[in-house]
Amino acid sequence: MNTVNAYMRVADIDVDVVYKNIKNLHIGVYPPLGRVRVAAPVRLDDDAVRLAVVQRLPWIRKQRDQLRKSTRQTERKMVTGESHYFWGRRYRLRVINESGHIRIGICGTRMTMHSPAESTVEDRQEALDRWYRAALRGEIPRLIDRWGPVIGREVSKWTIRRMKTKWGSCNRESAHIWFNPELAKKDPKCLEYIVVHEMTHLLERHHNDRFISLMDGFLPDWRARRDELNSAPLRAEEWPER
């Protein structure tokens, strides 16, 4: 079984490294946020892998830009028949024209949006974004409170902020953590993984052996959660009418 056994940061990019019994080094950039993963022969050391990544930085940045452009091109129109994700589940959107503030709720397999007929796509998207953020605000404090005593560090402040290529970020000096609002679309265990990941950075800044050892102790299945986070659907999709 192959596992990520090295992390490194090259320029402003986090890189996962898997050492395998292979002849050549391979670099991949994966949706939805442009995660960079390197499969490297076991004969290479971290310095050799880092050099290979540095040499391919222009290509890596190009791939990430294309992923972001693809995301923008497939933005939804916020109409009945689309599907959207919430806590890892897929829901079919039903828009109900109704005066007043835009309201969103879940009923069975449907996500209902009560919205004035004159509301714009931007109005509806902003309302959905606020709804996602509210869901995260209801979960993040509970997770931070749960993991604080386990990790042995306190979070001074946390913020929900849209980020193009990261699920979370941490300022070790100020103990301030940022979370991507897109996390509300993922399974809750993925959110927990990000909470633990960023809080572990309060103990160790770098993605080194110590960081991996700490993560293994705190959350033994963190790799599976990370893989699910990076492979599950992110964007809304078309759901044909029935």
Determine the 3-state secondary structure of 193 from DSSP: helix
- Residue 22: DSSP 8-state: -
pLDDT digits (tens, 9 = 90+) for 180-189: 999 999 999 9
Q: Where in the chain is the domain with CATH 3.30.2010.10?
A: 82-238
In which band, very low, low, confident or very high, does the pLDDT at 3 lie, cut at 50, 70 and 90?
A: low
Residue pair 33/164 in contact by the 8 Å Cβ criterion:
yes
Task: Give dist(CA 38, CA 20) in Å, integer.
Answer: 10
User: Taking the CA atoms of the chain, what radius of gyration do you get in angstroms?
Assistant: 20
Inform me whether the pLDDT recorded for 89 exceeds 90: yes
- The chain-wide mean pLDDT, for the chain, equals 88
**Which DSSP string corresponds to 38-105?**
EEEETT--HHHHHHHHHHTHHHHHHHHHHHHHHHHHT-----TTEEEEETTEEEEEEEEE-SSS-EEE
Distance of CA 200 to the CA centre of its chain: 17
pLDDT average, residue stretch 150-169: 93
In which band, very low, low, confident or very high, does the pLDDT at 93 lie, cut at 50, 70 and 90?
A: very high
DSSP H helix total and E strand total for the chain: 6, 12
Task: Give dist(CA 50, CA 231) in Å, integer.
Answer: 24
- Residue 179: DSSP 8-state: E
Residue pair 241/81 in contact by the 8 Å Cβ criterion:
yes
pLDDT average, residue stretch 94-99: 94
Architecture per CATH, domain 82-238, reads as 2-Layer Sandwich (3.30)
The amino acid at residue 20 is K
